[in-house]
């Protein structure tokens, strides 16, 4: 038996913010970042950006941020729920030239979620992805966006300035892993349905796994279908029975998502 069965979704999901960071792009000066914010609801909010670098934590208050409807992309990032509203782009500068690894948007006000409940929506930067995976390459669309944003930045867009957050206690010997993206630690390979194999039906199924901070599975569902229901069912079964490790960011376990891939290749 591989892993534990998924927890009931209603009981396992943590509170999350309606507002989150969609994308972050590093500018040529090494301390300014273009930040795109998305929202699941159309409203005006006071927000607080928390920015985590390899050295420090920074913060930035954003007042009366408004969100406008946009066309929902069909190829949205797997780790984020689809949202339909976007805010004007922000350029955020850090006090120092640290390496920004991740950031999260928190809502302010009486109706905002409890403190730290938005951390499940932590957005990783390309610098963190490259540190985690030396083979990481941004998409062509992301490269095109970066080129256009760099042009805007070089045209003297005035950035918002983040400020230092009081330093947290340094990590001690009980923190052997400071950073880790979600990963599988034991994979149960799916069975190839006999009927599909006999007819030489193949394909690739991707399953979106929602992980809790204790490495357990909160939810599993098809992210990209192979086009065959029998193949998808076997992939989903294997994804649910495999074992995973949740992300770790600055020594803290983070809930988040992992994409399980199952390839069915006819012989």
pLDDT in tens, 5-20: 333 333 333 445 788 8
Query: Cα separation of 42 and 25, whole Å?
Result: 24
In a domain, 5, yes or no: no
Residue 81 has pLDDT above 70, yes or no: no
Tell me which residue range forms the domain holding 49.
Answer: 12-164
Residues 124 and 71 placed together within one structural domain of the fold: yes
Residues 190 and 138 placed together within one structural domain of the fold: no
Number of domains the chain contains = 2
- Of 107, 136, 164, the residue that ends a domain is 164
pLDDT in tens, 168-218: 555 555 777 777 778 899 999 999 999 999 999 999 999 989 888 899 999
Pairing of strands 123-124, 203-211: unpaired
Of 50-54, 245-249, 259-263, highest mean pLDDT: 259-263
Average pLDDT of the chain is: 81
Residues 133 and 194 placed together within one structural domain of the fold: no
Residues 207 and 144 placed together within one structural domain of the fold: no
Residues 147 and 254 placed together within one structural domain of the fold: no
In a domain, 7, yes or no: no
Pairing of strands 160-161, 90-93: parallel
Residues 123 and 209 placed together within one structural domain of the fold: no
pLDDT at 168: 58
Residue 241 has pLDDT above 60, yes or no: yes
Within 13 Å, how many C-alpha atoms sit on residue 10's CB side? 0
In a domain, 160, yes or no: yes
In a domain, 169, yes or no: no
Pairing of strands 160-161, 163-164: unpaired
- Of 164, 190, 215, the residue that ends a domain is 164
- Report percent pLDDT > 70 for the chain: 82
Contact 163, 58 (CB under 8 A): yes
Residues 187 and 255 placed together within one structural domain of the fold: yes
DSSP character string of 158-203: PPEEPEEPPPPPPP-TT-S-SEE--EEEE--PPP--HHHHHTT--E
In a domain, 245, yes or no: yes
Residues 212 and 92 placed together within one structural domain of the fold: no
pLDDT tier for residue 131 given thresholds of 50, 70 and 90? confident
pLDDT at 120: 64
Residues 256 and 211 placed together within one structural domain of the fold: yes
pLDDT at 57: 87
Residues 139 and 200 placed together within one structural domain of the fold: no
Query: Cα separation of 42 and 19, whole Å?
Result: 10
Helix (H) or strand (E) holding 57: strand 57-66
Residue 42 has pLDDT above 60, yes or no: yes
Q: Among 86, 68, 78, which residue's Cα sits nearest to residue 19?
A: 86
Q: What is the pTM of this model?
A: 0.65
* Distances, alpha carbon 258 to alpha carbons 64, 125, 246, 261, 267, in Å: 33, 17, 9, 10, 28
Residue with tokens 């080129």: 147
Residues 87 and 126 placed together within one structural domain of the fold: yes
CA angle 27, 28, 33 (to 5 degrees): 15
pLDDT in tens, 145-168: 999 999 999 998 889 999 988 765
DSSP character string of 198-262: HTT--EEEEEEEEE-TTS-EEEEEEEE--S-HHHHHHHHHHHHHSEEE-EEETTEEE-EEEEEEE
CATH number at residue 216: 3.30.2420.10
**Comparing 257 with 75, which gets the higher pLDDT?**
257
pLDDT at 216: 93
Residues 23 and 150 placed together within one structural domain of the fold: yes
Q: What are the beta bridge partners of residue 161?
A: 93
pLDDT in tens, 87-123: 989 999 999 888 898 888 988 875 555 655 676 677 8
- Of 139, 164, 189, the residue that ends a domain is 164
């Amino acid at each position: 038996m591989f892993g534990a069965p998924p927890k009931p979704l209603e009981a396992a999901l943590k509170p999350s913010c309606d507002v989150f960071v969609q994308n972050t792009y590093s500018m040529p000066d090494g301390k300014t970042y273009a930040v795109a914010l998305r929202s699941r609801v159309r409203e005006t909010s006071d927000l607080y950006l928390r920015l985590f670098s390899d050295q420090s934590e920074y913060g930035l208050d954003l007042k009366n941020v408004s969100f406008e409807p946009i066309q929902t992309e069909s190829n949205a990032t797997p780790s984020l729920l689809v949202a339909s509203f976007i805010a004007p782009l922000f350029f955020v500068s850090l006090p120092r030239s640290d390496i920004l690894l991740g950031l999260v948007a928190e809502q302010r006000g009486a109706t905002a979620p409890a403190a730290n409940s938005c951390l499940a929506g932590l957005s990783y930067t390309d610098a963190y992805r490259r540190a985690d995976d030396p083979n990481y390459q941004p998409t062509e669309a992301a490269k095109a966006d970066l080129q256009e944003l760099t042009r805007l930045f070089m045209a003297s867009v005035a950035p918002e300035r983040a400020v230092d957050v009081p330093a947290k206690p340094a990590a001690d010997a009980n923190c052997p892993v400071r950073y880790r993206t979600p990963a599988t630690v034991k994979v149960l390979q799916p069975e190839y349905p006999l009927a599909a194999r006999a007819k030489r039906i193949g394909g690739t199924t991707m399953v979106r796994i929602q992980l809790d901070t204790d490495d357990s599975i909160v939810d599993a569902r098809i992210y990209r279908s192979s086009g065959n229901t029998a193949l998808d069912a076997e992939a989903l079964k294997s994804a649910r029975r495999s074992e995973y490790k949740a992300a770790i960011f600055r020594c803290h376990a983070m809930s988040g998502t992992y994409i399980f891939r199952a390839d069915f290749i006819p012989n």
